[in-house]
Amino acid sequence: GEDVEQSLFLSVREGDSSVINCTYTDSSSTYLYWYKQEPGAGLQLLTYIFSNMDMKQDQRLTVLLNKKDKHLSLRIADTQTGDSAIYFCAERTGYSTLTFGKGTMLLVSP
Amino acid sequence: EPEVTQTPSHQVTQMGQEVILRCVPISNHLYFYWYRQILGQKVEFLVSFYNNEISEKSEIFDDQFSVERPDGSNFTLKIRSTKLEDSAMYFCASSPRDSKNIQYFGAGTRLSVL
């Protein structure tokens, strides 16, 4: 079945770049997503990439997709303390289903 | 900025009771979803809803669950007879007509079954 895997924790210093990695299993996925969840809040859509793209850049965010290896990454440039949150990778499977990873907790220290 | 609104933020109920979780999707969105996240586990898909009917559902969405769009703005999830294992965060999401690949989530309702 479909599965999405992420490392559980990442710690960086303010101003550094953060790279959060994700692997997925469904090769037919058409869209892949990154969501952010701050404490007590819902899932905020950060960015997404269509499966025929290799890269997407949106301000401080860069998404890289390696479809051959089924690997997705999210790079946050100049990470700030306000970026501390849980980041979820998700793939679109089925007609409308999103399959999520367990989330990576990003901790940014001053 | 428009957002998906869920109420209540926290619902406490006794085992065996019925609960209704409420959601107001973003105006003009046409696709609606429910997901849940048991503490420490992944966010799991429950059901999707379009044109007043269920379009897709997961194995979790058994006969104890139902969804309804009772009017033009609300989208509800009903659990008929709650079990302890139904305790979770329930997220509602919606998608616009021209971009059903993009799902916008609410802040969630934490359901605690005692």
Question: In angstroms, how far is CA B27 from the centroid of its own chain?
Answer: 17
How far apart are alpha carbons B4 and B55 in whole angstroms? 20
B31 touches chain A (CB under 8 A): yes
Tell me the shortest Cα–Cα distance from B108 to chain A, in angstroms: 6
Residue A95 reports pLDDT greater than 80: no
Q: Whole-number mean pLDDT of chain B? A: 93
CB atoms within 10 A of CB B57: 17
CB contact under 8 A, B55 and A95: yes
Q: Tell me, what's the pLDDT at B114?
A: 96
Query: What are A2-34's pLDDT values in tens digits?
Result: 689 998 999 999 999 999 999 998 777 789 999
Residues of B in contact with A101 (CB under 8 A): 42
CB contact under 8 A, B43 and A88: yes
Percent of chain A with pLDDT over 90: 75
CB atoms within 10 A of CB A94: 15
- For the segment A98-103, the average pLDDT, to the nearest whole number, is 92
How far apart are alpha carbons B39 and B72 in whole angstroms? 32
Q: Tell me, what's the pLDDT at A66?
A: 93
Q: Tell me, what's the pLDDT at A1?
A: 59
Question: DSSP assignment, residue B101?
Answer: T
Cα→Cα distances B85→A25, B79, B109, B113, Å: 28, 12, 15, 8
How far apart are alpha carbons A50 and A31 in whole angstroms? 5
Tell me the shortest Cα–Cα distance from A67 to chain B, in angstroms: 19
How far apart are alpha carbons A68 and B11 in whole angstroms? 44
Confidence band, pLDDT 50/70/90 cuts, at residue A61: very high
Residues of A in contact with B48 (CB under 8 A): 95-97
Tell me the shortest Cα–Cα distance from B6 to chain A, in angstroms: 10
How many helices (H) and strands (E) would you count in chain B?
Answer: 0, 11
Confidence band, pLDDT 50/70/90 cuts, at residue B99: confident
Residue B73 exposed, middle or buried by CB count within 10 Å (0-12, 13-18, 19+): exposed
How far apart are alpha carbons B36 and B52 in whole angstroms? 21
Query: What are B15-69's pLDDT values in tens digits?
Result: 999 999 999 999 989 999 999 999 888 899 999 999 999 999 999 999 999 999 9
| Inter-residue contact A35 to A43 (CB < 8 Å) | yes
How far apart are alpha carbons A35 and B105 in whole angstroms? 10
- For the segment B105-114, the average pLDDT, to the nearest whole number, is 95
Q: Tell me, what's the pLDDT at B79?
A: 97
B14 touches chain A (CB under 8 A): no
CB contact under 8 A, A102 and B42: yes
Look at phi and psi of residue A103 and say left if phi exceeds 0, alpha if psi is from -120 to 50, else beta.
left
